[in-house]
């Protein structure tokens, strides 16, 4: 028992890292290269079975916003000596033809927007709100953190390496759940409230760094909230819970974000 506790303590110390912009301590047991490899494979599989939008204007707009925020993020991370957080990334921003009101991002810089979310975004700044939030999840390492916790919960520290190598299907399902693109696997991933608040705050800052208006963020979430009244909420809202307190928090965070405006 003492040996297991000692091993856990050593692994815990080795796996500790800090989230940029918020300074929160987190634990990540999976190497970024392993996680990125999983993301690249699953992202490719998704694109094989989901048609890209044929709307050239909308497609170019999503890519434009993604590229602007990516550049802002890379410049900021370089300025604070944290460029390793996007090392090995292969940034990609795609718009798929799907009426679902949804968007998500995978580690390694892989982002998907569904055409159904664009009417809610309404404009380029609205797209930047969603893009900033999703990219914030990536640079904050939320997928790694959630998957690490899920692996420990389900297989334990001792079997961590074995699970990654010998149980590819289980690992795949856990990965998809951890990055918000898979079904619920029967356990609650912790820190989801923390992750969402953190992504809101970081997303607000990085969209402002890229030249977008942070005032659009609470307005976007107000539109999303209105969509959920009296009917089943959009998928994006179900995985990114919105509330009056969240909108209030975003409004309070705007002055901080504006400090990063160029």
pTM of the model: 0.82
Q: Confidence band (pLDDT; 50, 70, 90) for 226?
A: confident
> Nearest Cα to 111, choosing from 129, 139, 134?
134
- List the single range of 30-34, 118-122, 156-160, 235-239 with lowest mean pLDDT: 156-160
Q: Which residues are paired to 114 by β-bridges?
A: 96
Per residue in 149-189, pLDDT (tens digit) is: 766 655 544 444 454 555 555 555 554 555 555 433 333 34
> Which one of 7-21, 104-118, 153-167, 230-244 scores highest in mean pLDDT?
104-118
Q: Is the pLDDT of residue 113 over 70?
A: yes
List the chain domain ranges: 28-258
Could you identify the residue written with the tokens 């969509």?
227
Q: Is the pLDDT of residue 66 over 80?
A: yes
Determine phi and psi for 112, rounding to 5 degrees.
-130, 130
**Active site positions, annotated:** 134
CA 211/CA 227 separation, integer angstroms: 28
Helix H, strand E, coil C: the string for 84-106 is: HHHCCCCCEEEEECCCCCCEEEE
116: DSSP letter: G
Mean pLDDT of 72-92: 95
- H helix or E strand, kind and range, residue 195: helix 192-209
Q: Confidence band (pLDDT; 50, 70, 90) for 64?
A: very high
pLDDT of amino acid 183 = 37
Per residue in 130-146, pLDDT (tens digit) is: 999 999 999 999 888 88
pLDDT of amino acid 144 = 84
Q: Over pLDDT 70: what percentage of the chain?
A: 74
């Amino acid at each position: 028992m003492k040996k297991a506790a000692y091993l856990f303590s050593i692994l815990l110390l080795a796996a500790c890292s800090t989230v940029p912009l918020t300074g929160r301590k987190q634990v990540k047991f999976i190497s970024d290269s392993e996680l990125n490899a999983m993301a690249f494979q699953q992202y490719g599989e998704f694109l094989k079975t989901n048609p890209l939008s044929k709307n050239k204007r909308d497609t170019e707009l999503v890519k434009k916003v993604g590229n602007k925020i990516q550049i802002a993020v890379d410049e900021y991370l370089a300025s604070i000596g944290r460029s390793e957080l996007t090392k090995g990334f292969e940034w990609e921003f795609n718009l798929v033809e799907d009426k679902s009101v949804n968007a998500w991002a995978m580690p390694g810089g892989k982002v998907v927007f569904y055409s159904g979310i664009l009417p809610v975004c309404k404009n380029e700044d609205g797209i930047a709100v969603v893009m900033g939030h999703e990219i914030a999840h990536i640079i904050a390492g939320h997928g790694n953190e959630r998957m690490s916790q899920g692996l420990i919960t389900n297989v334990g520290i001792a079997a961590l390496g074995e699970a990654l190598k010998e149980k590819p299907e289980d690992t795949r399902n856990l990965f998809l759940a951890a990055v918000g693109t898979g079904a619920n696997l029967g356990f609650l991933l912790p820190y989801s409230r923390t992750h969402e608040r953190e992504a809101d705050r970081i997303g607000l800052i990085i969209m402002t760094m890229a030249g977008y208006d942070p005032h659009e963020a609470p307005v976007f979430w107000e539109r999303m909230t209105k969509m959920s009244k009296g009917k089943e909420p959009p998928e994006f809202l179900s995985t990114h819970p919105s509330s009056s307190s969240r909108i209030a928090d975003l409004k309070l965070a705007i002055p901080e974000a504006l400090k990063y405006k160029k």
